[in-house]
């Protein structure tokens, strides 16, 4: 094994893999095998050093990256492993599911997503009597988030806040935390912050954890924020066995509080750390490396490095200037189809700055039946109807989950109006109990018999679902919810919207079913971190959706939250922890291990799938945001929408922010193994109106001799001009000229450039009859004839045949046509 591993690595990588005790940082550029060092080190520790898998944890940022990591490790080991390989949030959640009560979290606590957070923040502002037109909920939330990422509670934040707005934020923060506590929920940032608090506050637990978890490996270290760094510090200890790998040129989460200093000052945080470099890139061609390296060299805050590859040369980077997004989509899809001879669609990706750029591209892909999947942007679990049903599941699991209960109380409508709800909320407030307790105890005083009946009906429904949850599998439970709540009936209507909603709900049934099947096999889907249930008791409990303790009380209404005993003492050094559980479960070998039940696991999965995760299996071309592409690689990559305002994004104003955008593009470009394409539009429709777009200034930072530029805004009049010219002031490389020497006609002092055609004037010419057979003239496409007219007036859709451009579909008011 050792020889095998060594053979798959270069000497520098091998050194890092068999690094002994103490911290090390592998600081190296994209594609140099940093993730490979992590996976090989995990395999080496297990296979060569005999380290028990539960003593090792590999942590990264996205579920997709974690899944890939697991696949790579399991391939090396030749079978599945119980090493923890997951995200930071997953790690923290596993810890809190077991010990959360020690930091004030109720059992079965819910995790809020962004829209839940917004709803709670709005209530928090109201409670703190702050005007939400001054204190915009989103803005306040982002302040709260950054405070949490720095591990500052409201009191600590207050100490550094002055002025009206900042003081208001502090008040909102503390009222938000109070509401969260009352509803028994935690937001995403809390997961990390509370895990840190738990380990620091419970010294004995922290100590045991450090002894148990002997090897900690962290990928993409450049994107850690302060809270994550502290979590790593508490887990590894200052001189601990931490292997961190990262690249300061790929730090793209500063807006979420990531601190590049964590990597730039690694030796200060972990004294005695060995810092290693890797310089050979195994991923990309020299051209791609040179182009991306040249771009990122414009950044000031970096350590700087050199990369080389044996894959010399390579195709030039193709750059396309499109007329608009439809033209861009056509070019991209045409190019992808052209490349399909040599590459499968799975090896191709289109990366974008924002989610909203995908729609037009998706349509074009569908038109040509090119398979694709969206890695970001589906946000399946954020759709209202899906969230509703997930809220039912949460209430079935934990009826005290106020937040979810509020959501479904009158959804679908069942006669529990606003006034009734308010009475219920007040009653809960006065009693200091959960809403569920008020329902259970029937504290309906002051309500009309009708309202009280409606509430009883709802309570009985929840009880019924809870009791049948013990017999049904996950998919069946979701189906039962749809049926018993009336969702099925509600959306079984003949309109598109209702149909789409019903389809989403059916998709949820499939997702739950799939999850349950994988869970039964001990491989919870997407949950690389979740150790399979292994004890005979746990296996026999699998039939039930709830953990035994919860299932027993499922039929009864009283679900008191039992105070959990502290785990008994154990000898941390004995190494006799159950061999078949992850490092966190192993902590519990005092006999009170509580295996996650499938329902809790599923709900955790739903909470943790971030926008970087695909719901669909990897099929065809991957469409995703640049952020989501971190750590991945594809044979062919197209970065679309390279326009000023998109990248750098118009929100990025300061030099630091622009540097972060540059790194983001660098991340995108370095995903490519063989071919790289960059496209931008001359105009783009924003909120329904066309807007002129300038090329991204980053294009100007690429070495012109490595590019092959094509301009779709120039009509292809004669093959000689072929629409290729430089639009950002420097001469591109073309395949017909030797590298570095652009053809004469493209030299700056050569013949004048093809003038850029004027943008098509907007509006429909008053003197243009919209009729079949009418001759027209287009500012760039020249003369043509109308073949078909759909609708009338300026919104009419026209099919026009142009002598130069062939058949085109245009909207009359945007087409800029004149009669001929």
Q: Give the angle 607-183-202 at the CA atoms, nearest 5°.
A: 80
Buried b (16+ CB within 10 A) or exposed e, 53-74: bbbbbbbbbbbbbbbbbbebbb
Residue nearest to Mg ion (CB): 35
Piece in contact with ligand ATP (CB under 6 A), picked from 6-14, 123-131, 330-338, 553-561: 6-14
CB of 52 or CB of 68, closer to ligand ATP:
68
Q: How far is the CB of 791 from Mg ion (least distance, A)?
A: 51
Distance between CA atoms of 528 and 52, rounded to whole angstroms?
17
**Residue 631 sits in the site that holds Mg ion (CB under 5 A):** yes
CB of 68 or CB of 659, closer to ligand ATP:
68
Instruction: Enumerate residues 241-260 that contact ligand ATP by CB under 6 A.
Output: 247, 250
> Alpha carbon 77 to chain centroid distance?
29
Instruction: Enumerate residues 19-38 that contact ligand ATP by CB under 6 A.
Output: 30-36
Catalytic residue among 387, 440, 671, 673: 671
Distance between CA atoms of 606 and 610, rounded to whole angstroms?
9
CB of 149 or CB of 670, closer to ligand ATP:
670
The answer to whether 332 touches 322, Cβ cutoff 8 Å, is: no
Catalytic residue among 13, 24, 35, 423: 35
Buried b (16+ CB within 10 A) or exposed e, 217-234: bbbbbbbbbbbbbbbbbb
Q: How far is the CB of 223 from ligand ATP (least distance, A)?
A: 11
Task: Indicate which of Mg ion, ligand ATP, none lies near residue 33 (CB less than 5 to 8 Å, by partner kind).
Answer: ligand ATP
Name every residue whose Cβ is closer than 8 Å to that of residue 270 and which is 6 or more positions away in sequence: 23, 25, 233, 236, 238, 239, 242
The answer to whether 318 touches 710, Cβ cutoff 8 Å, is: yes
Q: How far is the CB of 288 from ligand ATP (least distance, A)?
A: 12
Catalytic residue among 12, 32, 34, 674: 34
**Residue 60 sits in the site that holds ligand ATP (CB under 6 A):** no
CB of 10 or CB of 146, closer to ligand ATP:
10
Task: Indicate which of Mg ion, ligand ATP, none lies near residue 600 (CB less than 5 to 8 Å, by partner kind).
Answer: none
User: Within a 13 Å sphere around the CA of 620, how many CA atoms are in the beta-carbon half?
Assistant: 15
Q: How far is the CB of 112 from Mg ion (least distance, A)?
A: 30
Distance between CA atoms of 216 and 83, rounded to whole angstroms?
11
Q: How far is the CB of 40 from Mg ion (least distance, A)?
A: 13
Distance between CA atoms of 392 and 409, rounded to whole angstroms?
10
813 is catalytic: no
Distance between CA atoms of 490 and 413, rounded to whole angstroms?
10
**Residue 627 sits in the site that holds ligand ATP (CB under 6 A):** no
CB of 85 or CB of 435, closer to ligand ATP:
85
Q: How far is the CB of 29 from ligand ATP (least distance, A)?
A: 7
**Residue 9 sits in the site that holds ligand ATP (CB under 6 A):** yes
Q: How far is the CB of 601 from Mg ion (least distance, A)?
A: 27
Q: How far is the CB of 61 from ligand ATP (least distance, A)?
A: 11
Piece in contact with Mg ion (CB under 5 A), picked from 266-274, 498-506, 623-631, 659-667: 623-631
Q: How far is the CB of 629 from Mg ion (least distance, A)?
A: 11
CB of 275 or CB of 717, closer to Mg ion:
275
35 is catalytic: yes
CB of 35 or CB of 423, closer to Mg ion:
35
CB of 28 or CB of 525, closer to ligand ATP:
28
From candidates 631, 641, 695, 715, binder to ligand ATP by CB under 6 A: 631
Task: Indicate which of Mg ion, ligand ATP, none lies near residue 282 (CB less than 5 to 8 Å, by partner kind).
Answer: ligand ATP
Piece in contact with ligand ATP (CB under 6 A), picked from 4-12, 207-215, 413-421, 565-573: 4-12
> Alpha carbon 271 to chain centroid distance?
33
287 is catalytic: no
Q: How far is the CB of 618 from ligand ATP (least distance, A)?
A: 16
The answer to whether 428 touches 434, Cβ cutoff 8 Å, is: yes
Instruction: Enumerate residues 633-652 that contact ligand ATP by CB under 6 A.
Output: 633
Quick check: helix, strand or coil at residue 703?
coil
From candidates 70, 269, 283, 480, binder to ligand ATP by CB under 6 A: 283
Radius of gyration of the chain (CA): 29
Catalytic residue among 116, 189, 219, 259: 219
Task: Indicate which of ligand ATP, Mg ion, none lies near residue 247 (CB less than 5 to 8 Å, by partner kind).
Answer: ligand ATP
Distance between CA atoms of 726 and 707, rounded to whole angstroms?
10
Catalytic residue among 68, 220, 290, 595: 220
Size of the site for ligand ATP (CB under 6 A): 18
Q: How far is the CB of 245 from ligand ATP (least distance, A)?
A: 7
Distances 711 to 292, 737, 738 between C-alpha atoms, Å = 22, 18, 21
Name every residue whose Cβ is closer than 8 Å to that of residue 464 and which is 6 or more positions away in sequence: 484
CB of 308 or CB of 453, closer to ligand ATP:
308
Distance between CA atoms of 695 and 697, rounded to whole angstroms?
6
Distance between CA atoms of 337 and 346, rounded to whole angstroms?
12
Piece in contact with Mg ion (CB under 5 A), picked from 444-452, 578-586, 628-636, 683-691: 628-636
CB of 346 or CB of 379, closer to ligand ATP:
346
Buried b (16+ CB within 10 A) or exposed e, 26-44: bbbbbbbbbbbbbbbbbbb
Task: Indicate which of Mg ion, ligand ATP, none lies near residue 36 (CB less than 5 to 8 Å, by partner kind).
Answer: ligand ATP
Distance between CA atoms of 130 and 134, rounded to whole angstroms?
8
Q: List beta partners, residue 349.
A: 622, 637
630 is catalytic: no
From candidates 165, 255, 282, 690, binder to ligand ATP by CB under 6 A: 282
The single residue listed with the structure tokens 């287009």 is 778
Helical residues (DSSP H) of 543-588, grouped into ranges: 548-552, 583-586
The answer to whether 520 touches 545, Cβ cutoff 8 Å, is: no
Catalytic residue among 250, 378, 600, 774: 250
User: Within a 13 Å sphere around the CA of 646, how many CA atoms are in the beta-carbon half?
Assistant: 31
Taking phi over 0 as left and psi of -120 to 50 as alpha, with beta for the rest, 782 belongs to: left
**Residue 394 sits in the site that holds ligand ATP (CB under 6 A):** no
CB of 404 or CB of 670, closer to ligand ATP:
670
Number of neighbouring beta carbons within 10 Å of residue 560: 7
CA proximity to 820, closest of 794, 785, 792: 785
220 is catalytic: yes
Distance between CA atoms of 524 and 538, rounded to whole angstroms?
14
Q: How far is the CB of 670 from Mg ion (least distance, A)?
A: 10
Residue nearest to ligand ATP (CB): 33
Task: Indicate which of ligand ATP, Mg ion, none lies near residue 283 (CB less than 5 to 8 Å, by partner kind).
Answer: ligand ATP
CB of 14 or CB of 725, closer to ligand ATP:
14
8 is catalytic: no
**Residue 10 sits in the site that holds ligand ATP (CB under 6 A):** yes
Distance between CA atoms of 103 and 110, rounded to whole angstroms?
15
Instruction: Enumerate residues 12-51 that contact Mg ion by CB under 5 A.
Output: 34-35
Distance between CA atoms of 377 and 233, rounded to whole angstroms?
34
Residues that bind Mg ion (CB under 5 A): 34-35, 631
Residues annotated as catalytic are 34-35, 219-220, 250, 671
Residues that bind ligand ATP (CB under 6 A): 8-10, 13, 30-36, 247, 250, 282-283, 631, 633, 670
């Amino acid at each position: 094994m050792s020889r095998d591993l060594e053979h798959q690595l270069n000497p520098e990588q091998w050194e890092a893999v068999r690094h002994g005790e103490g911290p090390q940082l592998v600081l190296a550029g994209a594609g140099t095998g940093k993730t490979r060092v992590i996976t090989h080190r995990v395999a080496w520790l297990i296979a060569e050093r005999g380290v028990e898998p539960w003593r090792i944890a590999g942590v990264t940022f996205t579920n997709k990256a974690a899944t890939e990591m697991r696949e790579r490790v399991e391939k090396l080991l030749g079978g599945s492993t119980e090493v923890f390989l997951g995200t930071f949030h997953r790690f923290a959640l596993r810890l809190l599911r077991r010990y959360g009560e020690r930091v004030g979290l109720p059992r079965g606590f819910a995790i809020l997503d962004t829209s839940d957070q917004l709803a709670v923040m709005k209530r928090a502002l109201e409670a703190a009597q702050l005007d939400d037109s001054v204190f915009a909920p989103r803005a306040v939330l982002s302040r709260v988030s950054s405070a949490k990422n720095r591990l500052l509670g409201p009191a600590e934040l207050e100490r550094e806040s002055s002025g009206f707005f900042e003081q208001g934020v502090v008040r909102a923060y503390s009222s938000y935390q109070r509401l969260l506590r009352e509803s028994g929920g935690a937001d995403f940032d809390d997961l990390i912050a509370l895990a840190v608090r738990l380990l620091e506050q419970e010294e004995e637990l922290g100590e045991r954890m450090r002894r148990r978890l002997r090897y900690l490996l962290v990928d993409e270290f450049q994107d850690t924020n302060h809270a994550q760094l502290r979590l790593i510090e508490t887990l590894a200890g200052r001189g601990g066995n931490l292997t961190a790998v990262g690249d300061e040129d790929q730090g793209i989460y500063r807006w979420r509080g990531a601190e590049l200093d964590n990597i730039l000052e690694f030796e200060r945080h972990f004294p005695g750390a060995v810092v290693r470099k890797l310089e050979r890139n195994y991923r990309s061609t020299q051209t791609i490396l040179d182009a991306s390296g040249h771009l990122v060299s414009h950044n000031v805050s970096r350590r700087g490095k050199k990369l080389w590859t044996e894959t010399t040369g390579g195709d030039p980077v193709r750059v396309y200037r499109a007329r608009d997004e439809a033209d861009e989509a056509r070019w991209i899809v045409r190019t992808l189809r052209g490349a399909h001879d040599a590459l499968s669609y799975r090896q191709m990706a289109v990366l974008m700055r924002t989610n909203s750029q995908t729609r037009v591209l998706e349509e074009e892909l569908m038109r040509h039946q090119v398979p694709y999947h969206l890695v970001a942007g589906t946000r399946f679990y954020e759709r209202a109807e899906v969230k509703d049903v997930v809220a039912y599941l949460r209430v079935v699991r934990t009826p005290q989950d106020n937040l979810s209960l509020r959501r479904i109380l009158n959804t679908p409508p069942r006669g529990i109006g606003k006034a009734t709800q308010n009475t219920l909320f007040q009653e809960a407030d006065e009693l200091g109990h959960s809403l569920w307790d008020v329902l259970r105890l029937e504290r309906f005083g002051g309500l009309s018999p009708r309202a009280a009946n409606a509430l009883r009906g709802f309570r009985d429904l929840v009880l019924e679902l809870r009791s049948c949850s013990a017999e049904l599998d996950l998919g069946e439970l979701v189906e039962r919810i749809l049926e018993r709540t009336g969702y099925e009936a509600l959306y079984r209507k003949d309109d598109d919207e209702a149909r789409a909603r019903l389809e989403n709900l059916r998709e949820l049934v499939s997702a739950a079913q799939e999850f349950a099947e994988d869970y039964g096999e001990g491989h919870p889907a997407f949950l690389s971190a979740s150790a399979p249930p292994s004890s005979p008791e746990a296996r026999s409990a699998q039939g039930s959706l709830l953990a035994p303790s919860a299932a027993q009380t499922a039929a009864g209404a009283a679900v008191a939250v039992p105070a959990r005993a502290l785990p008994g003492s154990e000898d941390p050094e004995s190494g006799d922890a159950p061999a078949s559980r992850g490092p966190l479960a192993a902590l519990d070998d005092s006999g009170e291990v509580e295996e996650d039940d499938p329902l809790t696991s599923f709900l955790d999965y739903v909470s943790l799938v971030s926008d970087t995760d695909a719901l669909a299996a990897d099929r065809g071309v991957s469409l995703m945001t640049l952020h989501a592409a971190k750590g991945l690689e594809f044979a062919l990559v197209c970065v679309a929408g390279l326009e000023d305002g998109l990248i750098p994004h118009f929100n990025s104003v300061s030099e630091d922010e622009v540097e972060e955008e540059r790194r983001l593009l660098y991340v995108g470009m370095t995903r490519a193994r063989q071919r790289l394409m960059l496209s931008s539009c001359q105009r783009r429709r924003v909120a329904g109106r066309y807007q002129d777009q300038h090329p991204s200034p980053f294009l100007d930072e690429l070495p012109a001799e490595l590019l092959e530029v094509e301009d779709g805004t120039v009509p292809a009049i004669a093959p000689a001009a072929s629409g290729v010219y430089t639009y950002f002031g420097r001469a591109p490389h073309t395949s017909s000229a030797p590298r570095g020497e652009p053809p004469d006609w493209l030299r700056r002092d050569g013949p004048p450039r093809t003038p850029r055609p004027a943008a098509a004037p907007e509006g429909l010419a008053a003197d243009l009859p919209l009729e079949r057979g009418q001759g027209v003239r287009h500012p760039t496409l020249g003369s043509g004839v109308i073949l078909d007219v759909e609708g009338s007036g300026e919104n009419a859709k026209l099919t026009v045949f142009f002598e130069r451009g062939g058949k085109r579909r245009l909207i009359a008011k945007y087409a800029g046509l004149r009669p001929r």
